[in-house]
C-alpha cells in the first residue's frame, strides 16, 4: 500500500501542517484525529490496519491531517477568543489550501468525505456542513456538535457559525441547502458505553430531520465505549458498507 507523509505550508495558520496519505486511488476519506490532533494518530491506533484492504483495492484513499488540537482546544491557557480565531483560520486552511492540495495530489477534483471520532467528529461534521459544495459527505462518531460545550460562556459570531446545532436550524439559504439536500452520505454514530454521550448524536439527528436532510444515525449498546476500539469498528463499517 502506498504511504506518504507530506507537509502543507499554510499561509492562514502560518506554519507547516503534516498530512499522512494512504493509498493510490478511490474516494477520499479526510480524517480529523480524535485525541491529540496528530496526523499519525489514525494509523497508530489501528485505523489504517482496519481499512487496509479497502485502501489497497482502491475503494478509498485516506488523508489524515494535523489539527493542532493539543495546542489550542485542549490547552486551558488559550482563551476562548483565541480558540475562536484559530478555528476561523483553520477553516480557511481546510477550505482554501487543503482541498486544493488533495485535488492536486489526486490529479483532479475528487469526492471527499470528512470523517472523525470524538473531537475529530465535530471537526469533520462541521467542515462538511460549512461547505457542502466542497465535500461529498461526512462520518461523525461519538461527537459533540455544540461548540458552546467547549467555549463555555464565550460565544461570538464565529462560534455560532461553527456550531452545527446552532446554525443548522436557522439555515434557510436555498443555495447551501441545495448542496446539502443533494448529499447522500451523512452518517452519525455513537455507543452507550463508558464515556459516550449519545444525546449529542441523537440531537443532531433531530435537527437534520427537521430540515428534511437525508442522514443516518446509528446508536449502539453499552459495549461501545468512548475509545478507539469503538471508533475503528464503526469507521470500517461505514466505509465498507455505506460508501
pLDDT in tens, 16-43: 999 999 999 999 999 999 988 999 999 9
Residues 213/25, Cβ–Cβ less than 8 Å: no
C-alpha cell at 171: 439555515
Looking at the structure of the chain, the number of domains it has is 1
CB neighbour burial string for 162-201, b if at least 16 within 10 angstroms, e if fewer: bbbbbbbeeeeeeeeeeebeebebbbbbbbebeebbbebb
Domain that holds residue 164: 3-241
pLDDT category at 1 given cuts 50, 70, 90 is confident
Rg (CA), the chain: 17
- Specify the pairing of strand 137-141 against strand 112-117: parallel
Q: Compute the average pLDDT of residues 50-57.
A: 96
C-alpha cell at 106: 489526486
Least Cα distance to 208 among 125, 115, 119, 151 occurs for: 125
Decide: helix, strand or coil at residue 92: helix
Answer whether residue 117 shows pLDDT above 90.
Answer: yes
CATH, residue 81: 3.40.50.1820
Q: Compute the average pLDDT of residues 111-125.
A: 98
The contacts found for 170-176 with CB under 8 angstroms, 24 or more apart, are 171/211, 176/132, 176/133
Q: Is 60 exposed, middle or buried (0-12, 13-18, 19+ CB in 10 A)?
A: buried
Residues 129/181, Cβ–Cβ less than 8 Å: no
What is the predicted pLDDT for the residue at 194? 98
Answer whether residue 152 shows pLDDT above 90.
Answer: no
Q: Compute the average pLDDT of residues 93-122.
A: 98
What is the predicted pLDDT for the residue at 131? 98
pLDDT category at 239 given cuts 50, 70, 90 is very high
Answer whether residue 153 shows pLDDT above 90.
Answer: no
pLDDT category at 231 given cuts 50, 70, 90 is very high
Residues 217/121, Cβ–Cβ less than 8 Å: no
Answer whether residue 133 shows pLDDT above 90.
Answer: yes
Within a 10 A sphere around the Cβ of 1, how many other Cβ atoms?
11
Average pLDDT, the chain: 96
Q: Is 117 exposed, middle or buried (0-12, 13-18, 19+ CB in 10 A)?
A: buried
Widest pairwise Cα distance in the chain: 48
What is the predicted pLDDT for the residue at 196? 98
What is the predicted pLDDT for the residue at 36? 86
Q: What letter does residue 70 receive in the DSSP assignment?
A: G
Q: Compute the average pLDDT of residues 188-208.
A: 98
What is the predicted pLDDT for the residue at 42? 96
Residue that wins the pLDDT comparison between 130 and 1: 130
Residues 55/27, Cβ–Cβ less than 8 Å: no
Answer whether residue 71 shows pLDDT above 90.
Answer: no
Amino acid at each position: 500500500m502506498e504511504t506518504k507523509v507530506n507537509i502543507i505550508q499554510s499561509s492562514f495558520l502560518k506554519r507547516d501542517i503534516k498530512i499522512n496519505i494512504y493509498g493510490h486511488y478511490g474516494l477520499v476519506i479526510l480524517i480529523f484525529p480524535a485525541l491529540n490532533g496528530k496526523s499519525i494518530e489514525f494509523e497508530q491506533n489501528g485505523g489504517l490496519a482496519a481499512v487496509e484492504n479497502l485502501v489497497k483495492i482502491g475503494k478509498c484513499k485516506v488523508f489524515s491531517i494535523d489539527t493542532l488540537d493539543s495546542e489550542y482546544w485542549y490547552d486551558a491557557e488559550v482563551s476562548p477568543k483565541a480558540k475562536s480565531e484559530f478555528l476561523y483560520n483553520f477553516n480557511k486552511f481546510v477550505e482554501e489550501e487543503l482541498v486544493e492540495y488533495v485535488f492536486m495530489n489526486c490529479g483532479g477534483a475528487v469526492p471527499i468525505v470528512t470523517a472523525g471520532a470524538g473531537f475529530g467528529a465535530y471537526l469533520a461534521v462541521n467542515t462538511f456542513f460549512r461547505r457542502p459544495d466542497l465535500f461529498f459527505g461526512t462520518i461523525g462518531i461519538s461527537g459533540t456538535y455544540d461548540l458552546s460545550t467547549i467555549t463555555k460562556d464565550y460565544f461570538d459570531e464565529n462560534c455560532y457559525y461553527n456550531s452545527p446545532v446552532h446554525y443548522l436550524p436557522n439555515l434557510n439559504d436555498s443555495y447551501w441547502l441545495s448542496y446539502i439536500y443533494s448529499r447522500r452520505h451523512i452518517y452519525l454514530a455513537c455507543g452507550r458505553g463508558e464515556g459516550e454521550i449519545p444525546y449529542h448524536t441523537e440531537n443532531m439527528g433531530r435537527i437534520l430531520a427537521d430540515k428534511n436532510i437525508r442522514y443516518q444515525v446509528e446508536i449502539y449498546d453499552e459495549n461501545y465505549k468512548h475509545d478507539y476500539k469503538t471508533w475503528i469498528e464503526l469507521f470500517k463499517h461505514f466505509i465498507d458498507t455505506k460508501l
